[in-house]
């Protein structure tokens, strides 16, 4: 997946993308387009480069974030605050189909690179603008990152337990990646529109709205029913739909989102409880009209027949499932649940992901020969296209690695290029 020797052109080959953005959200959009074949030129500040080059853990003084999110593009350095740099930027814009930026609103305009100036040199350019709060509204000029957007977008409020403070919902960068995904599909929609009409447009993506859109029916429940969803740990909208402990000290996720799935799980629990009783029967005693009392299995118990009834007795349901899972190892549980076609999964650490045969079979992890790290495994491109599959054409570049190549394409070579370098423009 890292080779450029593919005989079939990738889906976006020929599309030219100018990535003016920094950190994750905008560059993630650019990276997704690069994996599908677009030629992405990343513009970075001379001397320092994208802040992502310094974020998080490092090996051999190379940030792992950069090794992942810098892949697949060409890097040039350019001082956008310098009028000479702005002139060069406009020449790059002239040749671009798509321009991506995620500065605070108004920044490009201060650098004489706003939409109006772009359209002077490229009337049908598509401009993706990513920001914390969007390009409009009273908060438009406020700074923000993923953690801030996740708090403002309602996600952080839900993370944790009701009697404890809210916690970070998995990662402080979820909003960045969500916005990058929305940006990528919006860019493709705008490109299709331009191909049909010749008309470019501006795409406005905010971090907080990207997160808010992922909070399922929460807003409707509040508006229609006055329900404010609170923190509830690992509980969900259905039950049993939770994380349960195993006999060997691990955890298993089980999801039953319908009555049919519950009956499958309940039948497995019934059978297991009958084994534990030595075949003595399971279930709840019901007194009928006959001579002997009747024992009803959990799968047939009318008091748990619907989702509404089970949710009303959530604690009881979860305790019964948890008591059952604690009597079996993770492997035993997976075997029984898989046989019954009940959705389940071990709760994996990243080390578990690396060792799972499903990851190996689908090459979910792909090896990239990074110039500093050497061969290193990282997430493969998503999604998978049958005719024009995505790929990683190049590892993350060194700062300004492609200055000569890219500026040479503009006719800036030799003494002129050296002068720009010496003047701190590139």
Active site (catalytic) residues: 176
**Tokens coding 233:** 């740990």
Tally of CB atoms within 10 A around 294: 12
Mapped onto helix, strand or coil, the DSSP state of residue 339 is helix
| Phi and psi torsions of 357, nearest 5° | -65, -25
User: Taking a C-beta distance cutoff of 8 angstroms, is the pair 75, 401 a contact?
Assistant: yes
Mapped onto helix, strand or coil, the DSSP state of residue 392 is coil
Q: How far apart are CA 62 and CA 396, in angstroms?
A: 10
Q: Is the dihedral of CA 88, 90, 96, 98 positive or negative?
A: positive
Mapped onto helix, strand or coil, the DSSP state of residue 235 is coil
Biggest alpha carbon–alpha carbon distance for the chain:
104
Region of 36 please: left (phi>0), alpha (psi -120 to 50) or beta.
alpha
Q: Is the dihedral of CA 80, 84, 87, 92 positive or negative?
A: negative
Q: How far apart are CA 284 and CA 272, in angstroms?
A: 15
For 25-48, give one letter per residue: b (16+ CB within 10 A) or e: bbbbbbbbbbbbbbbbbbbbbbee
Mapped onto helix, strand or coil, the DSSP state of residue 200 is coil
């Amino acid at each position: 997946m890292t080779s450029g020797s593919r005989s079939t052109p990738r889906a976006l080959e020929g599309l030219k993308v100018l990535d003016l953005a920094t950190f994750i959200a905008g560059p993630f959009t650019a990276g997704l387009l690069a994996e599908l074949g677009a030629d992405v030129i990343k513009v970075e500040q001379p001397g320092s480069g994208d802040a992502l080059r310094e974020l998080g853990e490092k090996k051999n003084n190379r940030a792992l974030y950069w090794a992942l999110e810098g892949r697949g593009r060409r890097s040039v350095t350019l001082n956008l605050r310098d009028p000479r740099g702005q002139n060069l930027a406009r020449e790059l814009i002239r040749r671009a189909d798509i321009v991506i930026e995620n500065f605070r609103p108004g920044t490009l305009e201060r650098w004489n690179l706003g939409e109006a100036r772009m359209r002077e040199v490229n009337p049908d350019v598509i401009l993706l603008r990513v920001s914390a709060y969007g390009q409009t509204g009273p908060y438009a000029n406020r700074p923000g990152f993923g953690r801030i957007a996740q708090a403002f977008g309602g996600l952080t409020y839900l993370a944790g337990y009701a009697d404890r403070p809210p916690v970070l919902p998995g990662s402080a960068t979820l909003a960045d990646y969500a916005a990058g995904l929305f940006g990528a599909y919006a860019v493709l929609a705008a490109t299709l529109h331009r191909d049909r009409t010749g008309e470019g447009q501006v795409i406005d993506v905010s971090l907080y709205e990207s997160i808010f859109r992922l909070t399922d029916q929460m807003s409707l429940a509040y508006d229609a029913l006055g329900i404010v969803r609170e923190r509830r740990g690992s509980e969900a909208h259905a039950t049993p739909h939770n994380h349960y402990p195993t006999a060997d000290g691990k955890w298993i996720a089980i999801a039953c989102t319908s009555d049919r799935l519950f009956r499958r799980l309940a039948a497995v629990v019934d059978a297991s409880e009958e084994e534990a009783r030595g075949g003595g029967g399971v279930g709840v005693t019901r007194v009928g009209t006959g001579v002997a009392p009747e024992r009803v299995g959990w799968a047939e118990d009318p008091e748990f027949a619907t989702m509404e009834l089970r949710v009303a007795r959530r604690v009881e349901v979860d305790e019964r499932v948890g008591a059952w899972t604690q009597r079996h190892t993770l492997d035993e549980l997976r075997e029984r649940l898989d046989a019954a076609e009940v959705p389940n999964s071990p709760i994996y650490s990243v080390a578990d992901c690396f060792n799972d045969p499903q990851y190996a079979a689908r090459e979910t992890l792909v090896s990239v020969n990074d110039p500093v790290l050497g061969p290193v495994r990282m997430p493969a491109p998503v999604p998978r296209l049958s005719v024009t599959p995505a790929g990683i054409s190049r590892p993350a570049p060194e700062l300004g690695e492609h200055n000569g190549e890219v500026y040479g394409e503009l006719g800036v070579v030799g003494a002129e290029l050296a002068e720009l370098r010496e003047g701190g423009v590139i």
